[in-house]
Structure 1
């Protein structure tokens, strides 16, 4: 405000303060230039009135020439020949006709009804036409009480101002007009000012993200390998909000994220990180990049207090809640019991920002990307790019590891230009990190499935005792001679998450009976209980005719021998491939992967021998690109020798790393 207005405001303010303090009229007039009577009027008629924000005006009302009450017309509207004399006509019209005012307000505030065909983008011109039609229907024109001039469009501007004021009094409807349902949800979520003060490992945000890319899998064929497009994959991530560090993640191979994959992501955050060998580049990982466990043993198994999720069923199910409470000691914050709102990006700002960064720095830069939205897609046919480049999902696992680990080693402006890992080291030096750590035994049993089952068999049936558990029959030497257990209930536990061929058996008293083995056809190749359930579902639906003596091999053959490859790749097939690849790595090291590489690329015998020697000399050599397991149908060495060579195309990930 200018100098005169500022002086008038300060004089009024001082007069009001002296009036409240009990000063005399002479003292107030001598100090402020106004008397006690005028100061009292300022308090009653201005300062004590209610503002539009719900509070009293207070000292705000003492600004000179500030309008406190809106203009109210006291005389009948009479428009002269020059179109003047209509000030306050809109307010006078609505105050004299309350029924019409309610009808107009309902027209302005009418929202979009779910499941009904309604107008989304409403024009003010259509509202103006409706307004004029209503005035004519109410005989204003016949009674010569028309409130607006026909020469000037003043009525249209007045209606716009009134509609704006009505919408401002209804923020929800105004947000719906401005940004749709997402803006309404953001309005409900709030700005976060009342959330508790953060401290290290007080809150962890967890969510799943559908990756913006198309990938393929190579299936064995008579002429070599055939690339098949797979469904879009998900990644589940846990991020600590104070340090912005990604604690763990897991790449889900199913069409949706199941609860087991959520538990695997939690387990990843509580165990030591073991890096995957990166094959597409020698410089894909920055120095010091990784998950927090690379900083030392003191960062392994750190527990947190709260886990914030968006309300997805896989994240809020009873199993996840119980394991978080038992193993981590964490409360689950979901829309049902916290401030969060379903599908609101503002309730989990850190992880949503991370997902946006993951797309901007990684997958959306590749030509096989689907883009953040259909409008943002830059490549017309990302499926064709994935097939032509043979971008397998195994390469995606390596690329995700590089992107996430490099994120933890990238400086953040909000952390004083420290990286998340540097921030954790800084907090550890100050002694502010939590001292509570998860029990390694409980962490190992996060994915353990337990069920109380009866023991069958025995001398009465003429067969050794056995237990039916998870669609398979379990037995073995440890229970073969236990006739005393027949007819009793025992606890069966799948203690190895990726190997359901064995299960642990204990009595109800807690005494260990031993480890039982699954009977055919589930005793040959390793698999998980989830894979077994999906294979049994295929058998029940008559799509898989027979399991034979090896159910996993029969399932692999079923997927790989589909006529013309019309059916999409089954999610369980990808899970089996991952388990078999891990099993080969554990037992045979890099030599198994080398043999798969030679089979795919058709290397010469002398080159193959050289690779074998190099693999024997150094067990720390980089892992070559993962390849699919061998076809169930056995092929002779001559078949492998005569197989045509398949040229290896440079991966987009390699080109990205080189650039």
Structure 2
């Protein structure tokens, strides 16, 4: 029977004289697809080989110089153009999913030059980041290759990449920089031409050489100022897009991009790129309203170590136990939006004390909660958890590089402690007719991983 089945199925024709190239040898997408200049965007994180020092104060208020763990440059790049489209810095032993989310969102925003803090610092004429300075509109690419180390460890990234970045999302192999070779080459070029000149820069130990300093400047003589370093990186990244490149026969990326667009080259762009950038950081989840009429505990939602309430839910005991679709901005977790099953905005909730006063990311809230769980901080009766954590870090500054790094990493939140009662600037501040509707869940098949649902778990289409 098996012989008859095989006979009916037939056997494939094989031409022994025809040589087939081994597809397994393909290491990058351009070896498989015929990609155009604007198709492929790569993201990755690169550790800066610099020993940075930061100036602060110890528990007694005395000035003290402390080293920080590490500084990461996370960048996005149009790979074939060798053109930077976004970047950010992370000041920690390792960057997290929130940092990575920021870079992806910045790709969708129109770049504007900064007001540089150093009066002698200037942008190179004609330079910029992304496609907008060259073409007047934002293009985000049709294929996105992501750093597998941090790209999808944060739930919001998997939820929003497919809906906001769109196109093909390609998760590269962790620890294999060759799969993002063009971005690695861009990073290496910035390292050699700019980063090596910073005070405290060094060439790391290799197989044949020991660690060596690349300049004679003492980092303690030039303490890190985050604003100044970010201005410098913005100038460097913008200048790289107007520097001649060997792969373009000496032309710069912007010149190549303009010629490509003028010749009718295809670029992926939408009119609502700014809205997509805002939506990039919105985490979708399920929220259940809790409370107790018997114990006079007003309805609330518990999420990420914080309680959320609204006066609109006062004495609404009929809603206790009801589930809603919810969205929270990971960059400022003080606001939660609840949606009906039809996708209509139901109510806007605000976080209660001690999380209501100062803008803070969910990543910072998790750091504070870890300290609370370890008994390092007691938030009982505390008005502002961010302020309490700031004081805790100040007490540990002299003895802890981690404390110094966190102070720099979350500088915006700690600075905001000085301006209390600042309302969160979120999409809820728009008129009601402009409030977002709950996004439908997308489903796709990722090779090697099987089916992955992106968006709200259990959402009915």
TM-score (norm 2): 0.76
- 1:480 maps to which residue? 314
Tell me the CA shift for residue 539 of structure 1: 0.7
Asked if the contact 2:64–2:398 (Cα under 8 Å) also holds between the matched residues in 1, the reply is: no
**1:323-343 CA distances to partner (integer Å, 9 max, x unpaired)?**
3322222323345xxxxx654
Change (3 A) 1:454 1:443: same
Over 3 Å counting, the alpha-carbon distance change for 1:419 and 1:580 in structure 2 is farther
Aligned residue in 1 for 2:187:
355
Over 3 Å counting, the alpha-carbon distance change for 1:567 and 1:195 in structure 2 is closer
- Equivalent residue number for residue 526 of structure 1: 359
User: Is residue 67 of structure 2 the alignment partner of residue 233 of structure 1?
Assistant: no
Aligned match of 1:369: 201
Where 1:333 maps in the other structure, the secondary structure is: strand
**Could you tell me which of 110, 113, 116 is aligned with 1:275?**
113
Indicate the residue corresponding to 2:429 in structure 1: none
Q: Partners in 2 of 1:328 and 1:192 — Cα distance? A: 18
State whether residues 259 and 317 of structure 1, in contact with CA within 8 Å, keep that contact through their aligned partners in structure 2.
yes
Query: 1:446 and 2:280 equivalent?
Result: yes
Unaligned 5+ segments in structure 1 are 1-53, 57-186, 336-340, 589-659
Correspondence 1:460 to 2:290: no
Change (3 A) 1:220 1:200: same
SS of the aligned residue for 1:292 comes to coil
- 1:571-650 matches, within 5 Å, as 571-581=405-415
Q: 1:413-445: CA deviations, max 9, x gaps?
A: 322433212222222222213254274433311
Do the aligned partners of residues 468 and 407 (structure 1) sit closer, same or farther apart at CA in structure 2, a change above 3 Å counting? same
* CA apart distance, 1:360: 0.9
Matched, 1:515 2:348: yes
1:629 aligned partner? none
1:250 aligned onto 2:88: yes
Query: Do the aligned partners of 1:328 and 1:438 also contact (CA within 8 Å) in 2?
Result: no
Q: What SS does the corresponding residue of 2:326 show, helix, strand or coil? A: strand
1:389-408 counterparts in 2 under 5 A? 389-408=222-241
Find the partner of 2:260 among 418, 424, 427. Answer: 427
Alignment of 1:133-282 (within 5 A): 194-221=31-58, 222=60, 225-282=63-120
Distance 1:321 1:295, change over 3 A: same
- Equivalent residue, structure 1, for 2:395: 561
Q: How many residues align?
A: 396
The 1:473–1:297 alpha-carbon spacing in structure 2 relative to 1, beyond 3 Å, is farther
CA contact (8 A) 2:68 2:402 kept: yes
Cα distance change, pair 381–520 in 1 and its aligned pair in 2 (3 A)? farther
Q: For residue 434 of structure 2, what is the aligned residue in structure 1?
A: none
How far apart are 1:358 and its partner, in Å? 0.9
Alpha carbons 2:290, 2:300 under 8 Å: kept = yes
In terms of Rg, which structure is larger? 1
**3-state secondary structure, aligned to 1:500:** coil
2:159·2:284 contact (CA, 8 Å) conserved in 1?
A: no
Q: Quick one: structure 1 residues 297 and 515, their matched pair in 2 at CA, closer, same or farther if it must change by over 3 Å? A: farther
What SS is found at the alignment partner of 2:163? helix
How far the C-alpha of 1:307 sits from its partner, in A, is 2.1
* SS of corresponding position for 1:261: helix
Q: Does 1:498 align with 2:331?
A: yes
Please list every run of 5 or more consecutive structure 2 residues that lacks an aligned counterpart in the other structure. Answer: 1-15, 19-23, 423-461
Counterpart-to-counterpart distance in 2, 1:511 and 1:245? 40
Q: Secondary structure at the match of 1:560?
A: helix
Structure 1 residues 466 and 412: CA distance shift in structure 2, 3 A: same
1:498/1:579 contact within 8 Å kept? no
Query: Deviations along 1:499-527, whole A, 9 cap, x unmatched?
Result: 22222222334332332111111111110
The alignment yields a C-alpha RMSD, in angstroms, of 3.3
SS at match of 2:343: coil
Aligned to 1:549: 383
Q: CA offsets per residue over residues 112-157 of structure 1, 9 Å max, x none?
A: xxxxxxxxxxxxxxxxxxxxxxxxxxxxxxxxxxxxxxxxxxxxxx
Contact persistence 2:68–2:401 (CA under 8 A): no
Deviates more, 1:416-425 or 1:547-556: 416-425
Q: In 1, Cα distance between the equivalents of 2:137 and 2:34?
A: 23
Please say if residues 449 and 493 of structure 1, whose CA atoms lie closer than 8 Å, have aligned partners that are also in contact. yes
Structure 1 position 355, deviation (Å) = 1.0
Cα shift at 1:541: 1.2
- Mapped to 2, the partners of 1:193 and 1:210 lie a distance apart of 26
Structure number with the higher strand fraction is 2
Distance, in Å, in 1 between the alignment partners of 2:28 and 2:315 is 66
Say if 1:584 and 1:55 are closer, same or farther in 2 by CA, change over 3 A: farther
1:465–1:479 Cα contact (<8 Å) kept: yes
What displacement does 1:298 show? 4.3
- How far apart, CA to CA, are the structure 1 residues paired with 2:229 and 2:71? 10
Tell whether 2:164 aligns with 1:327.
yes
Q: Which stretch of the first structure deviates more once superposed, 276-285 or 226-235? A: 276-285
TM-score by length of 1: 0.54
